[in-house]
Amino acid sequence: MRFTSLFTRLALILAVPGFGWIGVRFIFAPHEVAATMGMTLATDTAVSTIQSGFGGFHIGVALLAAFFALTQHTVLPGLMIVTTTAGMAVATRGISLYTDGLDPKTLFVFWVEAFMLTLWLAALITERWRRARATL
């Protein structure tokens, strides 16, 4: 039981720097991050949209993961949040790979996101199993 509790909590804690770093980069270096993806931010509205849409969103998920990781009782909802978020990112990236072609950068990010999704999904299943066993 201790190992499963530790595993699920650590998996959730990994979301904090993962989502947090992405958010911080989009907020404080939007032009540089956009350039690595072949985008240019030509207007202040474009910069603001990237900062809030990508930066703020990722920081929000990181803060939720940190909050839910505080106690074992709240790990399950936290894992549901990061698993759903990562699942949608992987699904969307997969659609992009299918419709836009197998760009090497996109494919690399897809595999990183898919790995993290697998980790969080395993932690989610493990936490549900742990809770079911605890009620027996």
Mean pLDDT, rounded, for 6-32: 96
Mean pLDDT, rounded, for 45-73: 95
Number of alpha carbons in the 13 Å side-chain half-sphere of residue 94: 9
Residue 89: φ, ψ to 5° = -65, -45
Mean pLDDT, rounded, for 81-87: 97
The structural domain count of the chain equals 1
Placement of tokens 């742990």 in the chain:
130
Q: And the tokens for 130?
A: 């742990």
Which domain range does residue 27 map to?
2-134
pLDDT band at 47 (very low <50, low <70, confident <90, very high): very high
Number of H helices, E strands in the chain: 6, 0
